[in-house]
Amino acid sequence: MSNTEVQEASDLRVYEVGFHLLPKIAEAEMPAEVEKIKAILSTHGASVIAEETPRMTQLSYPMSRAEAGKRDRYNQAWFGWVKFELDPTQVKSVEEEISRMVTILRMIIISTVRESTRSSKLFVSERPMGEAIKKPEMHKGEGKKLSDAEIDTAVDELVAGTEEPAAAVAETEVAA
């Protein structure tokens, strides 16, 4: 690589375009629509890093779009994204071209990082999938009522830091 190529490569930034496509587009036509977006990117010198195939999603609120003299409202749309590397001077023109596509309901371009930023699972259960959570069983003596004196003795032992306060409670339960 020459010095100018290194300079040009360092001027590139990573972006992501997120888009909602009209829900009336057939699933079979989805790859062609994504290819149109990628073609716009490549004509401006972008290199695609990653992408997600659009999937049908319920919108948080209805979106409308004026088309052929009437306004249509949508509650669902195809959502997908493409991550790419591009010269920052080209971003505005890419945004304008993609937003002019007749199949785009809404789109956004954000600056991001090259690495995958998907979070890992926060909760992992050691229970086998589908196994029901069972109510814990009561141990012997848990259903038995303790007197105030027995409770006071057990609390005093806990506060005093003795190692086996439960043994003293068990002894009092046996004596009772």
Residue 169: pLDDT over 60: no
Average pLDDT, the chain: 82
Tens digit of pLDDT for each residue in 106-133? 999 999 888 875 655 555 666 676 677 7
Query: Mean pLDDT across the stretch 66-86?
Result: 92
Domain boundaries, the chain: 3-111, 140-176
Between 95 and 137, whose confidence is greater?
Answer: 95
CATH homologous superfamily of 3-111 equals: Ribosomal protein S6/Translation elongation factor EF1B (3.30.70.60)
Rounded to 5°, the CA angle 2-5-6 comes to: 90
Between 66 and 136, whose confidence is greater?
Answer: 66
The pTM (predicted TM-score) of the whole model is 0.60
DSSP character string of 86-111: E-GGGHHHHHHHHHT-TTEEEEEEEE
Residue in 83, 6, 98 with CA at minimum distance from that of residue 43: 98
The strand pair at 104-111 and 70-86 is best described as: unpaired
Q: Which residues contact 95 (CB under 8 A, 6 or more apart)?
A: 107, 109
Highest mean pLDDT among 95-109, 127-141, 146-160 belongs to: 95-109
* pLDDT of amino acid 3: 45
Query: Mean pLDDT across the stretch 9-26?
Result: 90
CA dihedral over 56, 60, 62, 64, signed as positive or negative:
negative
Tens digit of pLDDT for each residue in 47-61? 999 999 999 999 999
